[in-house]
Amino acid sequence: MPRKIAIIGDHFMLPDVFRAEIEKAASGGLDIRTLQTAWPDEPMEFGNAALGLDRIKEYFGHPDEIVDFIGDAEILVTQLAPLSDGMMRRLPALKLVAVSRGGPINIDMGAARTHGITVVNVPGRNATAVAEFTIGAILAETRLIRVGHEALRRGEWRGDLYRADRTGRELSEMTVGVIGYGNIGTKVVRLLRAFGCHVLVCDPYVQLSADDRNAGVELVALDDLLSRSDVVTLHPRVTEETRGMIGKDTIARMKPGVILINTARGPLVDYDALYEALVSGQIASAMLETFAVEPVPAEWPLLQLPNVTLTPHIAGASVRTVTYAAEQAAEEVRRYIAGLPPVNPC
């Protein structure tokens, strides 16, 4: 009997790319069906109690349509399809779910364990993309790229940006604080070292690599990082410990005129406190890539400030993110079919 595999992709995680990698990795005896949904042309959702989806977030698709498509498949490969307890009860054949993202937050993990469904993910799938984007974000702020661009768009030639009291600073003379030393944070540190800046890292749950230690990177407490850094860039996961970690108290402990970069998650930041700090100048400028509410409201106060750069949660969007995720998911499918343990069980 062929192994039945359902692939639910979208306009980013292309289902045909996943199909090609699975067929390459586990050739023969496969019955594969694919579905391409409308994300990101249409927004994802963040929980719907009326549909039984209150325990999951960042998903796309109606439960009935998803269940009907998966049907009698034994394996599901997806990025955003939701899977709730109620949906799993209707999918008795389902045994493996490969989620092509860093965290399976669109899956009710408690229910998956109850139903004996193995869930795997792709940690670090976009780590390089986000790290590169972070460096671009830092340069946009430190070298006044956004300021110059917006002036020219208004028909204004900002020759005054050559004044010593207004021009930007080179990274080689700055101290950059990196909060979070996981898949992304470690890559950010490696890239920053090439610019010659002094790098501070705060992460109470890890140790620095020998290579970073030998290069002069320091592992420090949060207060030390905040008081010494010219640039602070955020890379931790959102937990009860980190939620709102950049707020009124922590901002007060930052070096005046600091630049804040957030390419991680919106809930790490108290936006009201950030707004006040940007207006007062305690924070010179900020680059925000992710938000607590997406899309951001058109009337959002931070959209009106001249010292903020904003992008629509695109740091992890690269072609290599897609192909890497497909390769890793295909390997998990191959191992499952071969009776081998998963590489990245959740």
Domains with residue ranges and CATH for the chain: 3-125+318-337 (3.40.50.720), 127-310 (3.40.50.720)
Query: Is it the case that residue 101 has pLDDT exceeding 90?
Result: yes
Q: Residue 46's pLDDT is what?
A: 87
Q: Residue 268's pLDDT is what?
A: 97
Q: Does the global pTM surpass 0.75?
A: yes
By annotation, the residues acting in catalysis are 265, 294, 313
In which region does residue 41 sit, left (phi positive, over 0), alpha (psi from -120 to 50) or beta (all else)? Answer: alpha
What is the C-alpha to C-alpha distance for residues 256 and 259, in angstroms, rounded to an integer? 9
Query: Is it the case that residue 278 has pLDDT exceeding 90?
Result: yes
What is the C-alpha to C-alpha distance for residues 336 and 330, in angstroms, rounded to an integer? 10
Q: How many CB atoms lie within 10 A of CB 39?
A: 19
Read off the pLDDT band of 70 (50, 70, 90): very high
CA gyration radius, the chain: 22
Please name the residue that has the structure tokens 């940007």.
Answer: 278
Query: Is it the case that residue 102 has pLDDT exceeding 90?
Result: no
What is the C-alpha to C-alpha distance for residues 332 and 139, in angstroms, rounded to an integer? 38
What is the C-alpha to C-alpha distance for residues 47 and 53, in angstroms, rounded to an integer? 5
As to burial, measured by CB atoms within 10 angstroms (0-12 exposed, 13-18 middle, 19+ buried), residue 19 is buried
In which region does residue 129 sit, left (phi positive, over 0), alpha (psi from -120 to 50) or beta (all else)? Answer: alpha
- How does pLDDT run across 310-342, given as a tens digit for each residue? 999 999 999 999 999 999 999 999 999 999 999
Q: Residue 1's pLDDT is what?
A: 80
What is the C-alpha to C-alpha distance for residues 320 and 103, in angstroms, rounded to an integer? 18
The DSSP H or E segment spanning 150 is: helix 145-153
The arithmetic mean of pLDDT across residues 120-129, rounded, is 95
As to burial, measured by CB atoms within 10 angstroms (0-12 exposed, 13-18 middle, 19+ buried), residue 124 is middle
What is the C-alpha to C-alpha distance for residues 9 and 13, in angstroms, rounded to an integer? 5
At 336, is the secondary structure helix, strand, or coil? helix
- How does pLDDT run across 130-156, given as a tens digit for each residue? 999 999 999 999 999 999 999 999 999
Q: Residue 14's pLDDT is what?
A: 98
Read off the pLDDT band of 27 (50, 70, 90): confident
